[in-house]
A = this chain, B = another copy of it.
Amino acid sequence: MRTKKLFILTMILVLLSGQAVVAQNTVNNVKLYELNRQKHRTNINVPEIDGYKTLKCDFHMHTMFSDGIVWPTLRVAEAWYEGLDAISITEHLENNPSRPHIGGDDNSSYEIALPASKDYNILLVRGAEITRSMPPGHLNALFISDANKLDVKEPLDAIMEAHRQGAFITFNHPGWKAQQPDTCLLFDIHKELIEKDVIHAVEVFNENEWYPIALGWCIEHNLAVTGYSDIHEVSSHYYPLDKYHRPMTLVFATERSIEGLRDAMFARRTVAWFSKYVAGPDHLLQPLYHNSVTVSKLKNSDSKGRTLVEVRNNSDFTFELQPVNADFPGATLQPNSTELIRLDPVKAPARLQYTIANWFIDTGKNPTVTHQL
């Protein structure tokens, strides 16, 4: 009762004064939050394997301290938004461009990014790109302690200085047409350095280029299979991030730390992921697939009496499954989705065996996966 009277009274007063009250709140400053993109870290959903954590890494990128167009701190923020765990800013040592009004040395980029990496909980690996004509071409040195010392005249001196600093060294974009227009060769110098355990990895993917032949080298010579963005621009300007993650290397580590990364990479526990493709050794791709996809034969048949098999992809990977023999259907599994496979109950197989047509375990070779029903 009291409430009702007060309500009527209030309403009268609102008619008299309320407009002014409201006006104070709404004419001075109205926030239009719909004009803001809410910032957050989008999780990347890929499984752990063999008890290792799966760290999402991009260890090849540039900033204004070589020929990139963004400041080092932005690389850290991009990594956060995109769900990466670790990055390395690998400036060109040799042609650090004399941009107007920018100074610093070969370590500046790392030093500027370091506080941001702490703020965003991104692992920042100190690295640099040894940038030479072919051979040996471009090589990334990761886990170094002082980039300035690598900025020397002779390519081999730079490489060996990195080696002395304990670097993990990658042969970058071997099929890049600016250096190998019609070929994609492993030169003698590379073979030598591989043999001496100075080169440990090859980029089978770089920016938007995929070098299938280089995957064969990795398998033959036991090199880590890697793929990176080599981004110079704003990441979201270059990649359609609503459709694909940035290209990256998945590193299977005992812990999420610089030390964990280093151990895993020297142990070659890496695969490259780019667009819908994954490349790496079969013994890593097998658990990666099986921890991503569940296959269950359903109890009930469909309306035509066929056996139903549910194939569920719990990951952000895409799988193009092609039956090894033609007696049962294949399926394309989009990220985070489920397909049904219908089998003739009479000749239903006891197991489904597929090749993953968009995953690679060697040059021109796809993994084969098997599910018992």
* A interface residues (Cβ-Cβ under 8 A, vs B): 2-3, 6-7, 9-11, 13-14, 16-18, 20-21, 23, 26-43, 45, 64, 69-71, 73-74, 77, 81, 83, 100-104, 108, 111-112, 114-116, 118-121, 175-177, 180, 182-184, 207-213, 234, 236-240, 243-244, 247, 274-275, 277, 298, 300-304, 308, 310, 312-314, 332-334, 336-340, 363-364
Contact of A336 among B6, B43, B102 (CB under 8 A): B43
- Asked whether B175 lies within 8 Å of A336 as measured between CB atoms, the reply is no
- Asked whether B6 lies within 8 Å of A10 as measured between CB atoms, the reply is no
CB-defined contacts of A303 to chain B, threshold 8 Å: 114-116, 118-119
Contact of A33 among B38, B103, B208 (CB under 8 A): B208
CB-defined contacts of A208 to chain B, threshold 8 Å: 31-33, 35-36
In the assembled complex, the Cα of A40 lies from the Cα of B313 at a distance in Å of: 11
Contact of A70 among B74, B112, B337 (CB under 8 A): B74
In the assembled complex, the Cα of A13 lies from the Cα of B13 at a distance in Å of: 9
Q: How far is the CB of A341 from chain B (nearest CB, A)?
A: 11
Contact of A40 among B34, B101, B115, B338 (CB under 8 A): B338
In the assembled complex, the Cα of A259 lies from the Cα of B239 at a distance in Å of: 38
| A–B pairs, 22, beta carbons within 8 Å | A3-B17, A3-B20, A7-B20, A10-B18, A27-B213, A28-B180, A28-B183, A29-B184, A30-B209, A31-B210, A37-B238, A37-B240, A40-B334, A41-B339, A43-B338, A69-B71, A71-B71, A100-B111, A101-B104, A101-B112, A121-B298, A121-B308
Given A41-B337, A237-B236, A303-B116, are A310 and B121 neighbors across the interface (CB < 8 Å)?
A: yes
In the assembled complex, the Cα of A213 lies from the Cα of B70 at a distance in Å of: 38
Chain A interface helix/strand/loop/mixed:
mixed
In the assembled complex, the Cα of A21 lies from the Cα of B3 at a distance in Å of: 8
Q: How far is the CB of A43 from chain B (nearest CB, A)?
A: 5
Return the chain B residue nearest A74 by Cβ: B69
In the assembled complex, the Cα of A30 lies from the Cα of B212 at a distance in Å of: 8
Given A184-B29, A275-B32, are A40 and B209 neighbors across the interface (CB < 8 Å)?
A: no
In the assembled complex, the Cα of A26 lies from the Cα of B175 at a distance in Å of: 11
- Asked whether B7 lies within 8 Å of A21 as measured between CB atoms, the reply is yes
Give me the 4 closest cross-chain CB pairs, A-B, nearest first: A6-B17, A115-B303, A29-B175, A28-B184
In the assembled complex, the Cα of A340 lies from the Cα of B34 at a distance in Å of: 22
Return the chain B residue nearest A363 by Cβ: B27
CB-defined contacts of A41 to chain B, threshold 8 Å: 337-340
CB-defined contacts of A103 to chain B, threshold 8 Å: 101-103
- Asked whether B7 lies within 8 Å of A17 as measured between CB atoms, the reply is yes
Given A71-B70, A237-B37, A337-B43, are A210 and B32 neighbors across the interface (CB < 8 Å)?
A: yes
Q: How far is the CB of A345 from chain B (nearest CB, A)?
A: 14
In the assembled complex, the Cα of A250 lies from the Cα of B188 at a distance in Å of: 61
CB-defined contacts of A176 to chain B, threshold 8 Å: 29
CB-defined contacts of A35 to chain B, threshold 8 Å: 207-208, 239-240, 244, 247, 274-275
CB-defined contacts of A118 to chain B, threshold 8 Å: 300-303
- Asked whether B10 lies within 8 Å of A17 as measured between CB atoms, the reply is yes
Q: How far is the CB of A134 from chain B (nearest CB, A)?
A: 14
Q: How far is the CB of A64 from chain B (nearest CB, A)?
A: 6
- Asked whether B274 lies within 8 Å of A336 as measured between CB atoms, the reply is no
